[in-house]
Amino acid sequence: MLHNEARELLVRGYEASHDAKGIARAYSVSKWTVYRLAEQKRKPGSVTLRTSQ
């Protein structure tokens, strides 16, 4: 599980390079996680960890 700071850095890296495969490899996550976090950042504006309420 990525910490909030790592999530922010991951999305910034993806937005700068648009290389989901390379970013995923660097953070040891799947490319789909990169896409999901980038989409999450676009919609609600935050990629912080969500917890159940």
In this prediction, residue 38 carries a pLDDT of 93
pTM score = 0.82
Tens-place pLDDT, residues 29-42: 999 999 999 998 88
Q: How confident is the model at residue 47 (pLDDT cuts 50, 70, 90)?
A: confident
Beta carbons within 8 Å of 2's beta carbon, 6+ residues apart: 10, 27, 29, 49
* 46-50 contacts, C-beta under 8 A, 24 or more apart: 47/4, 47/7, 47/8, 47/10, 47/11, 48/4, 48/7, 49/1, 49/2, 49/3, 49/4, 49/7
- Per-domain boundaries in the chain: 4-42
Q: How confident is the model at residue 50 (pLDDT cuts 50, 70, 90)?
A: low
In this prediction, residue 52 carries a pLDDT of 67
Please tell me the distance from the alpha carbon of residue 48 to that of residue 35, in angstroms, as a whole number: 15
